[in-house]
Structure 1
């Protein structure tokens, strides 16, 4: 007798189940065998819909990218890019494993390329030259996906005890002063070492302001 669950299996269902498994247990818990167990099928049944683990991970990234809001027509470039980046960040917050998986992808899927192309289209449509757009995308780096690598990747989310802070301040007064200047909310981080929402938006707005000045000035790269 044919298994009804197998009859209903398709690529979309496989990827949705993989994302749900990663959300619960992390990306390391996702394997062809564990996913097959979750779906109630034999591992070989999955290979009709995904070519293997790498294709599965690519598809999982595509599922997350699909959650990023598309550009709203007619919105000026700055709020449009800002909204797109923050929407990407919200997707990363919903799926904390996605950052590391995205960083390991060796190929760019059509969904990833569509996201980059539409973001670049916002800039070009906003009056950015192709050359400046090229530099802006480099400056954005991973921020276009809603995360950045913080300087103090292993910094604790809470300040050390008073005696430890006193010792730190005696040896590294500038670091100690800046550590106490603001707090980190553990609920807003994308992953270990990422900045919190306020810091992310501060850096994003700073970058957008700088990009606008260069655009208004008609910036071109200096001759080599």
Structure 2
């Protein structure tokens, strides 16, 4: 196998692409090495093992949110800031549905880091941004906890439902379920299949913002 020069960033980027295409369960150092056309041992010069690789993938994607076009402009209000962060995170979940569950469930480096905004850089940006708009320490921390819980709840199910496995695309055809014994579900199947994910996400975000606004006005 031809050896090539690699660095940690290239390996992490390749791992993200691998999981996007093949799924998290398929990721091993050997298979990733094959995808990069190097021996698996070459990866260990930069990555200590699979656990280190998974953590690096999560860090890369989460810190990459700062480069999203929604985050490169200053927000004029705390409500706009939350909307920008929420929609940038939703874009990440939609772009990487096979990895987002990892982002939501991978143990953080500190117990007070909450997925998906699970880096110290994100906690600093979130808390300082809200405090710049007049939030107290308690209000900013409370908003961080409520906001991250909202993101995980709203996006984890959505991302999981978008994977090729969930969509039945792995074998090139959608699976059909016999609903003859469930007449109500069968009758309402078309309504159940309607996709209003963006509207539902926006409505839930508006509700959260209103709850935060009410709590800060007391």
With structure 2 as the length reference, what TM-score do the two structures score?
0.73
User: Structure 1 regions of 5+ residues with no counterpart?
Assistant: 170-175, 189-195, 220-224
Instruction: Tell me which of 60, 84, 103 is aligned to 1:63.
Output: 60
User: Structure 2 regions of 5+ residues with no counterpart?
Assistant: 168-177
Deviation per CA, 1:97-116, whole angstroms, max 9, x where unpaired?
22221133223399822123
Q: Which moved more, 1:116-125 or 1:204-213?
A: 116-125
Q: CA RMSD in A?
A: 3.5
Larger Rg: 1
Q: Are the counterparts in 2 of residues 36 and 42 from structure 1 also a CA contact under 8 Å?
A: yes
Q: Does 1:129 align with 2:120?
A: no
With structure 1 as the length reference, what TM-score do the two structures score?
0.72
Partner in structure 2 of residue 172 of structure 1 = none
1:167 deviation in Å? 7.9
Residue correspondences, number = 193
Deviation per CA, 1:146-198, whole angstroms, max 9, x where unpaired?
84456xx99x99xx9698344899xxxxxx8xx9877532xx8xxxxxxx222
Q: 1:168 to 1:20 in 2, by over 3 A?
A: closer
Q: Are the counterparts in 2 of residues 6 and 45 from structure 1 also a CA contact under 8 Å?
A: no
Partner in structure 2 of residue 6 of structure 1 = 4
Instruction: Tell me which of 22, 26, 34 is aligned to 1:25.
Output: 22
